[in-house]
Structure 1
Amino acid sequence: MLEVIQVLTVVIVGVMVGVEFSVAFVVNPILNALPGDGGQLGRAHGGRMLGAVMPVWYITSLVLVAIWAVAGWRNQGTGLTVTAGALLIVSVVMSVLLLVPINNRGKTWTPENRPADWKQQMNRWDRFHYVRVAVIIAAFALLVAAA
């Protein structure tokens, strides 16, 4: 049973890391290079779409890591699993305190109602997101090592 939890957790966290990495280093740079209002409209749509999915994904990942840590408490690698869980908690706290407020504003913007500093706000979101991606990559690496 523990092996099933480990594989499921590594796959779910790994795909989440891939999506977040892609947003940071592929999708947003593409959107930022679009002419006119396309980039801002794309980011607003992405904020609505991923803003609905990612909270469930992050919490599910954290719950699976907690189950893994409890189920394998006496096994080798538990320290790595617990540390990965702590990093995922950091990523959730970062998300709630730093990224979600910006995303909640940005997902409602249109070319007609966006603030004058919308690009600066998106750049700030990107910088926080880079840090979050580094944190979840570290958590993923620890989970792989623990498995």
Structure 2
Amino acid sequence: MQASRTLSRSGVAVATARPVLQFLAIMLIALVAGSTFGIWRGYDPGGYSALTFLETLQGAVGGLNVTLPLMGAGALVMTGILAVMARRDRPVAVAYAFAFVLMAVAAVITRFANQPINADVVTWTPDSMPANWTAIRDVWWHWHVVRTMLSMLGLAVLVLAIMADRNRSSAPSA
């Protein structure tokens, strides 16, 4: 009898944890994707002067360089847990895993393409900007657009995975 109570409690715990994890995963990746989307659509640095580029990127780095990766990491952890929780339902587990991979690739791009450039740019002053600052800007921008697309696609796949997961969970058992 004790074993059945424990199993029942753990089943309730899993049933309660799943929607909480789903909500938090969506919120975190939506904040990441929305932030990168806003930068992509609102702050294309292609036409910026050197000073405007410098001030804009330094301001963004100061506000987002730690926060966005932490939110992305949280979304990755929660999406990974959801994939494991759905392991008995292969299509749903695969959808969660695909969302995880998309987010992970965006995170790798952030860490190894954008953040090293951010680290350099925050040390620049208007008088110390390198002569090739536009080439550096263009490389940063290219990788920013790629990570934005991956983040948005990761969000879309995560939402689809959650919808499928909820539909299958609420389907009557035979």
Task: Report if the CA contact (8 A) 2:106-2:150 is conserved.
Answer: yes
95, 100, 125: which one pairs with 2:115?
100
Q: Which residue of 2 aligns with 1:23?
A: 39
Q: Which residue of 2 aligns with 1:91?
A: 106
Larger radius of gyration between Structure 1 and Structure 2: 2
In structure 2, relative to structure 1, the CA distance for the partners of 1:85 and 1:36 (3 Å cut) is closer
**Cα distance in 2, alignment partners of residues 36 and 143 from structure 1:** 38
**Cα distance in 2, alignment partners of residues 117 and 110 from structure 1:** 14
Counterpart AA for 2:70: V
- Indicate whether 1:115 and 2:130 are aligned: yes
Sequence identity, in percent? 24
Task: Report if the CA contact (8 A) 1:2-1:72 is conserved.
Answer: no
In structure 2, relative to structure 1, the CA distance for the partners of 1:122 and 1:68 (3 Å cut) is same
Counterpart AA for 1:85: F
Q: Which residue of 1 aligns with 2:25?
A: 9
> Which stretches in structure 2 are left out of the alignment for 5+ residues?
1-16, 163-174
Q: Which residue of 2 aligns with 1:68?
A: 82
Q: Which residue of 2 aligns with 1:53?
A: 67
131, 143, 151: which one pairs with 1:136?
151
Q: Offset of 1:74 from its aligned partner?
A: 2.0
What number of residue pairs does the alignment pair up? 145
**Cα distance in 2, alignment partners of residues 115 and 36 from structure 1:** 10
Residue 34 of structure 2: SS of its match in structure 1? helix
